Amino acid sequence: MEFWKIIKSDLKRYKSHGKFEWFEPSIGVIILFRIGHSLRQIRFVPVRWLLNLLHLPIYMITCFFSGIHIARGASIGPGLRIFHYGCIVINSGVHIGENCTIRHGVTLGNRREDFDLPVLGDNVDIGAGAKILGAVHVGNDVSIGANAVVIRDVPDNSIAVGVPARIISKSEKDNEEQNTLF
C-alpha cells in the first residue's frame, strides 16, 4: 500500500465526534514509525544510511518521551490507533493487520526465542495491560481483555480474557448477555 494512504488510514482513526485528536502523542510515534519503516525499503545504501541517521534520533526521543516503542522491523497494517500512550512495546518481527487498536501497557513480543513473535489479524482490539507473547496467531475481529496474557492462538471473532487467557466466542458472549437480561 502507498505510504500516504497508510498515513491517511492511521490519521482517520484519530477522528472522534467529528474532531481530530491532535494532542495524542501516539500520532507522532506512528508517523515516525511509518517513515522509519519506509526508509528500510530504500535500496541505495548511502541514502538509506544518511536518512536513518537523521530519522533515528528523532524517533528514539519521541519513543522515549511517549513511552511507546515500536521496533521499525514490525509489520503493521494501515489504521493503527493507540489510546493512552505509555509502556507500549511492539517487538521487531511482530505482524499486525489492519485497523488494530492498542491501549497503554501492552506488550507484543517473544516468549522464549528471538523469532517466536505474534501475528495479529485485522480489527484486533487490545485492552490495557495485555500481553501477547510467543508465536501465537490472533485472528480477525478479536478483542483481548485488559491485563490478559495471551500465549496460545485466538480464533476469529473471539474474546481472550484472563491469565493465561481463556478464549470466549463472541457468539457465546452474546448468548450469555441475553440470558442475564431475562
- Active-site residues, by number, are 104
- Name, in order, each residue with C-beta under 8 angstroms of 41's C-beta and a sequence gap of 6 or more: none
- Cα separation, 59 vs 22, in Å, equals 18
Give one DSSP letter per residue of 28-78, joined into a string: HHHHHHHHHHHHTT--SHHHHHHHHHHHHHHHHHHHHHHTEEE-TT-EE-S
Residue 174: its H or E element: helix 170-181
SS3 182: coil
- Cα separation, 175 vs 21, in Å, equals 36
Place of cell 544510511: 49
Q: Which amino acid is at 109?
A: G
- Name, in order, each residue with C-beta under 8 angstroms of 60's C-beta and a sequence gap of 6 or more: none
- Cα separation, 12 vs 80, in Å, equals 9
